[in-house]
Structure 1
């Protein structure tokens, strides 16, 4: 299930948030070798100080962190506008109806000990669960679209699970890979297609009350 944690309330979930930052270091610095800053084993950037909304995928049985993603309003500081403007020469989207997703990650600890087929299943299911969570949260807050920066590997994953996106701006090679800016529709159709792909037909959000308005500041 997906647990929602507002950036302003993350002191109420110290263990989960700390685990998330450590997972991000393992994924983005160690595995993907991105140019990110890691301090004391944790990957934290300036956008974590902008009161983001975190979606955390937790194992239903153990409560272990399986993956996470960060959401920010495009009306304030965000990665596409402030870090990757080269992708959108005409300017990044900025609207109260558009959020940005970033730092999408699946925890390596959840699949490192698995056989390859089982590991692929874990990664795929966690990925789809996080995407379903994004749609559900956005719909509850009246958000119509999500914009994100992603590489060619993620583009292939999105296409494989029927997670449609529209490329905006100009795809550009950054480092060793082609990088894209894409817009995703937060529609009922998107949720249905993702649910079919991951057999997640029921809501994935853990807290019913959070679906009413997960962050009034963003709505």
Structure 2
């Protein structure tokens, strides 16, 4: 199951949050060689791992096997502070019903066609957004993700032209949150809804807003 963790319940998940920071370091620094993220304590933490962050962690018992992070776009986030030029065509997309998505992962032994962790995290993200009146997700991603998202039936809109970042072709994009996208993601791996362990909303009241058309 995918557990929703934010400032309201983070103390109950302290061990899992710390484990997930170590896993992120092993994946993003060790495997992917993003050396700018290296830290001597072996945890991958940046300025957006703060009280605004919402973590969706896939747990097997108490063990972290996958996860991702959402950040409200009305607060400083990766695209607004570091990569605004990736939205140089349609501009930054910000609103109470838009979140930014970063740092998705599955541990090595839970990857591949026979595993469902990654798609469970994706489905959990969409499920969380549908429950909390979030209509769109922005993301800085490598361009090779685009066909994978289209295969899931997602509505993905580039916000700017691709750019090379540390030798990788990257693009800023907005993903529209729809029930159809969620159901397609579930069906792709034969997942059963719901995938969220905690179905109740964790979005602060001030972050909610009416749906955009």
CA distance in 1, matches of 2:28, 2:118: 16
Q: CA deviation at 1:133?
A: 0.8
Equivalent residue, structure 1, for 2:112 = 120
CA distance in 1, matches of 2:144, 2:118: 13
Q: Work out which of the residue numbers 194, 200, 203 in structure 2 matches 1:215.
A: 203
Q: CA deviation at 1:200?
A: 1.4
Give the alignment's Cα RMSD to 1 decimal. 1.8
Structure 2 stretches lacking a partner, 5+ long = 209-213
Equivalent residue, structure 1, for 2:15 = 15
SS, match of residue 38 in structure 1: coil
Q: CA deviation at 1:215?
A: 1.8
Are 2:68 and 1:69 equivalent residues in the alignment?
A: yes
Q: CA deviation at 1:8?
A: 5.0
CA distance in 2, matches of 1:81, 1:188: 27
What do residues 106-131 of structure 1 show as CA deviations (whole Å, max 9, x unaligned)?
A: 123x34xxxxxxx41355x2121111
What do residues 18-55 of structure 1 show as CA deviations (whole Å, max 9, x unaligned)?
A: 11000100111111111314241100000012421100
Range with greater deviation from structure 2 (141-150 or 6-15): 6-15
Equivalent residue, structure 2, for 1:80 = 79
The answer on whether the counterparts of 2:154 and 2:176 sit within 8 Å (CA) in structure 1 is no
Alignment of 1:165-184 (within 5 A): 165-184=156-175
Q: Work out which of the residue numbers 168, 173, 195 in structure 2 matches 1:204.
A: 195
CA distance in 2, matches of 1:189, 1:160: 13
Q: CA deviation at 1:9?
A: 3.5
CA distance in 2, matches of 1:67, 1:31: 15
SS, match of residue 134 in structure 2: coil
Are 2:27 and 1:38 equivalent residues in the alignment?
A: no
Q: CA deviation at 1:153?
A: 3.4
Q: Which has the higher helix share?
A: 1
Alignment of 1:68-147 (within 5 A): 68-90=67-89, 91-108=91-108, 110-111=109-110, 119-121=111-113, 125-147=116-138
SS, match of residue 191 in structure 2: coil
Which TM-score applies when normalising by structure 1? 0.86
Which TM-score applies when normalising by structure 2? 0.88
